[in-house]
Amino acid sequence: MQTLPGEEEIQDLLSCQLNTSCQTQVRSRNESALVYTALSFVSLLTVLLNMLVLISISHFRQLHTPTNVLIFSLALADLLVGALMIPQELISRSNPCWYLGRLMCTLVPYAGCIFTCSSIWNLALISVDRYIAVCEPLLYPSRVTMRRTISCSILNWICSFTYCGWFLVDHFGNPHPYHSCTGLCVVIFSPTSGMVDLFVSFICPCCVIVVLYIRIFTVAISQARSFKSNSVSIESDLMKTSKSERKAAKTLSIVIVVYLLCFAPYFSSLSPIDWFSQVVIIWIFQMNSCLNPLIYAFFYPWFKKSVKFIITLKILQPFSSELNLM
């Protein structure tokens, strides 16, 4: 007898609901309510804030800079996390069964891997950008151009797509992703792939970021001391530029520190933990996508002004893209 479309998935879900081995995690009403409220709030706030970043950088001509191209790419990844990954997490935590079908069981982990990998390597690219701006300011305009930055950003996304395809190849090739517990979506990857992912998605980019920022702040301190000891007026423009670059490096270093604090618990949680602790770690992990635009709001004057123009609908006026935000 031919199986009707969707009949197998329905049987899986019914088996899951009847299978007690699927429901090993005890969830109180208070814990569930707290988790659903927190994830819903973070999802909405993440989408709204990162949308403001994307609109600001794309609309205002003054913000079309190489650094902001990388911030745009980072905000895009954060927006997708808020719009797709956090709601999926909310659905999967609301019931022990997986209701989205086998195709989504394959695609959702793949998308999550892409957004995560793209984000961390975006931050590594930002570190390189700030390193050249602060440590080699005279060479920055010729080395860091809009064309090169856009190419690097696109290449980062392509590499993330390719790498995550390799990382989850075992998951893609498994014809029965529900095998360990009928009705659940189980992500399958080899121990070797897990170790490689820890290195590629966390240790390697973190080392690049930390090393470059140590160098950046060493040079920044040296520049600050030299400017204090030299009061020649002809260097005033250079001094202002250097201070601006150091301030941008400081702001983006806060973004990176927050990122590391959010991601460290996720990558270090190797031992089995209870359901609520697991949700908290994932919530902290995904909260990073909401925190980045808040950091811009506190430290970037252009973001505050652009948000004001967007909310008051001044961006709909003619020539609004030419407004001064600095």
Domain boundaries, the chain: 33-322
Residue 160 has pLDDT above 90, yes or no: yes
Share of the chain above pLDDT 90, in %: 17
pLDDT band at 79 (very low <50, low <70, confident <90, very high): very high
Question: What's the CATH number of domain 33-322, 1.20.1070.10, 1.10.1520.10, 3.90.1150.10, 1.10.287.1060?
Answer: 1.20.1070.10
* Predicted structure pTM score: 0.80
Structure tokens at 71: 């911030």
Q: What is the pLDDT of residue 148?
A: 94
Q: What is the pLDDT of residue 39?
A: 79
Across the range 149-164, mean pLDDT stands at 94
73-82, 90-99, 171-180, 251-260: range with lowest mean pLDDT = 171-180
pLDDT digits over 211-234, tens only?
Answer: 888 888 787 777 666 666 655 444
Query: Under a CB-based contact definition with an 8 Å cutoff, are residues 114 and 166 in contact?
Result: no
pLDDT band at 99 (very low <50, low <70, confident <90, very high): confident
Identify the residue with better confidence: 301 or 60. Answer: 60
Across the range 122-140, mean pLDDT stands at 87
Residue 31 has pLDDT above 60, yes or no: yes
pLDDT band at 28 (very low <50, low <70, confident <90, very high): low
pLDDT band at 7 (very low <50, low <70, confident <90, very high): low
Rounded-to-integer distance, Cα 115 and Cα 88, Å: 14
